[in-house]
């Protein structure tokens, strides 16, 4: 220690911390972060997002505090794509959701630059980011059903035959794989279980012809607009009407989809503790149990 005139000399270098590739004055972190500047923020990511873009350094600090490499980060309002860009550079997996054209104009170009290693702004230098990785981009399909002028549920006109078959395969747990040989094979769930999707009304003769083609040892789920005839006549066919089958799998008009727990089974009532001095015989599998050992949540344990 060094003193001059009764005052101790403190070296500034002792307070420096090596953070993100440079030495900075380190202080205990508080809930007020005034050390993250927004200088040159408009250039980050190579996209413009006035009054909406967050500094990559800010998102990085949040991830440092709350995540570790390999974790999944969800951003339901992707905006300019900062969350995905930072997560990608930090080795986190990410899911982003955006409504509108931002996916095309901001998010996808920005993430492509990150993957190509062309984005060297933001935290790239701190993370020594050179590019790599990839992502999948999905577009949400339009609603499968819509109401007509009479309030009846009908199939959305935006769906063609292929889209409808794909949607119902997904809904019913089948893999969409149309056959070149059989018009009624739109997908399968096993080697002998298939699905057929049509908006037609099938009569008894058509159903009989289907049943004969499917034959024994195979089963077919028929999703059709309507059918005539008794379903039990065709043991290898399961008949479902569109859109009724879709409506049965959906919930409509709810304001709250949270789990209702009031009707869950109650926990079994445990017997009252045995009087002091009494015990129970150990089971054969309890040879090493210690009767004096406290329970997992006993006492002041947390």
Residue 273 counted as domain residue: no
Residues 185 and 73 placed together within one structural domain of the fold: no
Identify whether the C-beta of residue 250 lies closer than 8 Å to the C-beta of residue 234: no
Residue-wise pLDDT for 144-176, tens only, equals 998 888 988 899 999 999 999 999 999 999 999
Instruction: Determine the Cα–Cα distance for residues 197 and 155; give it in Å rounded to an integer.
Output: 13
Residue 132 counted as domain residue: yes
Residues 89 and 156 placed together within one structural domain of the fold: no
Residue 53 counted as domain residue: yes
Residues 37 and 112 placed together within one structural domain of the fold: yes
**Predicted local distance difference test score (pLDDT) of residue 14:** 78
Residue-wise pLDDT for 254-283, tens only, equals 666 555 544 445 555 555 444 444 443 433
Residue 258 counted as domain residue: no
Residues 3 and 113 placed together within one structural domain of the fold: yes
Domain boundaries, position 188: 145-247
Residues 129 and 1 placed together within one structural domain of the fold: yes
Instruction: Determine the Cα–Cα distance for residues 145 and 158; give it in Å rounded to an integer.
Output: 10
- Helices marked H in 138-280: 161-172, 204-214, 244-247
Q: Which CATH number do you get for residue 161? A: 3.40.1350
SS3 170: helix
């Amino acid at each position: 220690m060094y003193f001059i005139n009764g005052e101790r000399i403190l070296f500034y270098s002792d307070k420096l911390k090596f953070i993100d590739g440079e030495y900075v004055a380190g202080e205990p972190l508080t809930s007020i972060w005034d050390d993250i500047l927004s200088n040159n923020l408009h250039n980050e990511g190579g996209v413009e997002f006035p009054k909406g873009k967050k500094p990559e350094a800010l998102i990085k600090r949040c991830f440092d505090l709350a995540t570790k490499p390999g974790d999944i980060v969800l951003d339901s309002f992707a905006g300019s794509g900062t969350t995905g860009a930072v997560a990608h550079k930090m080795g986190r997996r990410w899911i982003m959701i955006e409504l509108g054209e931002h996916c095309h104009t901001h998010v996808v170009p920005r993430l492509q630059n990150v993957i190509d290693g062309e984005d060297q702004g933001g935290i790239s230098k701190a993370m020594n980011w050179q590019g790599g990785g990839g992502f999948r981009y999905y577009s949400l399909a339009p609603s499968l059903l819509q109401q007509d002028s009479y309030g009846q549920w009908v199939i959305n006109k935006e769906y063609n035959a292929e889209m409808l078959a794909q949607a119902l395969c997904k809904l019913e747990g089948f893999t969409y794989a149309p056959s070149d040989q059989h018009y009624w094979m739109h997908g399968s769930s096993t080697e002998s279980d298939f699905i057929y999707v049509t908006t037609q009304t099938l009569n008894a003769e058509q159903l009989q012809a289907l049943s004969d083609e499917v034959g024994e040892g195979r089963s077919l789920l028929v999703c059709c607009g309507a059918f005539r005839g008794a379903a039990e006549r065709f043991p290898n066919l399961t008949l479902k009407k569109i859109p009724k089958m879709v409506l049965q799998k959906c919930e409509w008009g709810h304001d709250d989809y949270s789990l209702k727990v009031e009707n869950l089974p109650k926990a079994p009532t445990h017997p009252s503790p045995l009087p002091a001095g009494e015990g129970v015989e150990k089971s054969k599998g309890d040879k090493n149990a210690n009767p004096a050992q406290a329970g997992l949540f006993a006492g002041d344990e947390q």
